[in-house]
Each structure stands twice: as C-alpha cells, then as structure tokens.
C-alpha cells in the first residue's frame, strides 16, 4: 500500500514531513475553534446574549465550589417574568421576545459585572451573586423588581407593564445546584403568593 493511500507522509523526506505537521496543526486549531463554538452554543441562550440553563448550572456549580472552598457568602436569585403569556397571546411572540430581551438587559445592568445573569427557562432568569449575604441579596432583588416595574416597555406604540417576582436562595457549602435552585424557586413562589 502506498504512502499516499494511507495518508502517512514519507519520513525520509523532512520537508514533506514538516509540511504534513503544519497541515495537521492547522487542522487541529480549526477543530479546537469549532469545539469552542459548539460549547458556546450549548451554553448560550439562542434569543438573548446570556447563558442558558446549562451554562447557568455550570456557573452555579463553580460558585458552590468557591463557597465551599473559601467560605464566602453567595446567593441565587430566581426571577420570574409576570404576564409573558398575556403579552404573547395579545401582541404575538415577537412582542414577548422583545419583553424578554428588555428584562434581560435590565437585570444585567442592575447587578455587578462579576455577577452571572442567565435565562434558565421560558420566562425565568437566574442571577448568581458572589460575595453577597442575605440582606444584600434581598436588597438587590427589591431593587431589580423596582427597576423593572418602573421601566417603559413599548411595543408598536403601546406601553405594556412589566413586572417580576424574585426569590432569594442562599448558597451553602456542600450544596448541590439543584438544591439551591429549588430554594430560590420556592422563595419566588412564596413572594408571588404574598403579593
């Protein structure tokens, strides 16, 4: 079988071997770039330039590890956008998408750059607050609720009210991501029921 058929360069020809190595390095670099692109697609929301649920869970697990290792305070905010179904049903899904984009922007602007904001479901967002105790997390949640309810969301010339319910779940050492999500989700539903 010839070298050409097996894809193996002639080791007797150093120039040809160097050329083959260069081609293989270029191919590996292209494959690594493609893997990075696919990883980003797997962890990014397709509508909003934020992490999706998978990306959020990865960041939550990292934060739990830091809480465990360094003893820092951290919290998760579970954010539920109220009335998205009504907006979709009345004005169409384009209006619902615009509402989601606006809420995502308001949430991102309302927290520190080091905090993680993600879309974790249809009308649900998650926020990770590192170095945040319960009082600070509650204050952040209240401030975000006020900012969103005070914002003007206009679709086709019609002002639509936006509001959110936010639950706070503190992150403990040796926690699981699922347990943190459940606590924050339950806190959000308690807040909704009390409103």
Catalytic: which of 123, 152, 156, 185? 123
If DSSP codes are grouped into helix, strand and coil, which group holds residue 72? coil
Q: Which DSSP category does 160 fall into?
A: E
If DSSP codes are grouped into helix, strand and coil, which group holds residue 157? coil
79: closest CA among 154, 161, 181?
181
Q: What is the C-alpha to C-alpha distance for residues 59 and 65, in angstroms, rounded to an integer?
A: 10
Q: Which DSSP category does 48 fall into?
A: S
Residue 118, φ and ψ in degrees, nearest 5: -145, 155
Task: Let me know if 123 is a catalytic residue.
Answer: yes
Burial string for 78-87 (b: 16+ CB within 10 Å, else e) reads: bbbbbbbeeb
Active site residue ranges: 123
């Amino acid at each position: 079988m010839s070298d050409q058929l097996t894809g193996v360069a002639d080791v007797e020809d150093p120039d040809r071997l160097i050329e083959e190595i260069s081609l293989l390095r270029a191919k590996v670099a292209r494959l690594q770039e493609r893997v990075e692109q696919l990883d980003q697609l797997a962890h990014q929301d397709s509508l909003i330039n934020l992490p999706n649920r998978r990306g959020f869970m990865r960041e939550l697990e990292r934060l739990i590890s830091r809480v465990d290792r360094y003893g820092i305070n951290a919290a998760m905010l579970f954010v539920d956008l109220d009335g998205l179904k009504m907006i979709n049903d009345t004005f169409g899904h384009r209006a619902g998408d615009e509402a989601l984009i606006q809420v995502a922007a308001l949430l991102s602007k309302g927290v520190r750059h080091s905090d993680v904001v993600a879309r974790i479901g249809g009308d649900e967002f998650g926020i990770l607050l590192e170095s945040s105790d319960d009082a600070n997390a509650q204050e952040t949640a209240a401030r975000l609720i006020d900012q969103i309810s005070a914002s003007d969301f206009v679709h086709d010339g019609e002002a639509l009210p936006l509001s959110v319910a936010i639950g706070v779940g503190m992150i403990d050492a040796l926690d699981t991501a699922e347990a943190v999500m459940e606590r924050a989700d339950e806190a959000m539903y308690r807040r909704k029921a009390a409103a």
